[in-house]
Every structure is written in structure tokens, then in C-alpha cells.
Amino acid sequence: MENQAILDDLLAILEQNSVCLRQEVLGGAGSGLCKIKDKRVFFVDTESQTIETARNCAFAVNELVDIESVYIRPEVRRFVRDCIGAEKDD
């Protein structure tokens, strides 16, 4: 599965969980989840590489969704697990 397809699935999961998506120019590595006035917003850095945005999105999905209790394509679930596992190893 290509990085863009993984990112698209992850962004869709965020939207399904009431997260507003905003595309902004943030300098290359600024994608991330935040809370603004009781709303969750995921900023998609339009200058960032797809893989970096997907990694940041994976962390946001992991924070908001129990990935074991909802259907997520196996490749996307593996990607989230790999990202979270890599973070724990650091």
C-alpha cells in the first residue's frame, strides 16, 4: 500500500472521529493534532513529505481511537503499530 493511500485512510479515520482537518503551510514537519476551543484539529503541513504527515497522523489516530476495536485496513493498522513501536524504542 502506498504512503498516500495510508495517509488518506488515516485522515478519514480522524474525520470519522470528529477531527477537523486543516491544510496549512507549516515549513515541512508541522503536521499534528491540537485542540482549539474544545475542537480537535489536525493540521496537515502542505510542505511536509507524505510519509512524515502519515506518521504524525498515525500518532493522532492512536491517541484518539482504539485501533483494535474498529475496522482499519491491515496495512494501515500495521503502519500505526510500527510508528508507535518506533516511538517507544527511542
Task: Dump pLDDT digits (tens) for 29-81.
Answer: 779 999 999 999 999 999 999 999 999 999 999 999 988 888 999 999 999 99
Cα Rg of the chain, angstroms: 12
Q: Outline where the chain has alpha helix (H).
A: 3-16, 50-64, 74-89
Cβ atoms 57, 5 nearer than 8 A:
no
pLDDT of residue 89 exceeding 70, the answer is no
Q: Which pLDDT value is given to residue 39?
A: 95
The neighbouring-strand residues paired with 34 are 41
For residues 49 and 18, give the distance between their C-alpha atoms in angstroms, rounded to a whole number: 25
pTM (two decimals) = 0.88
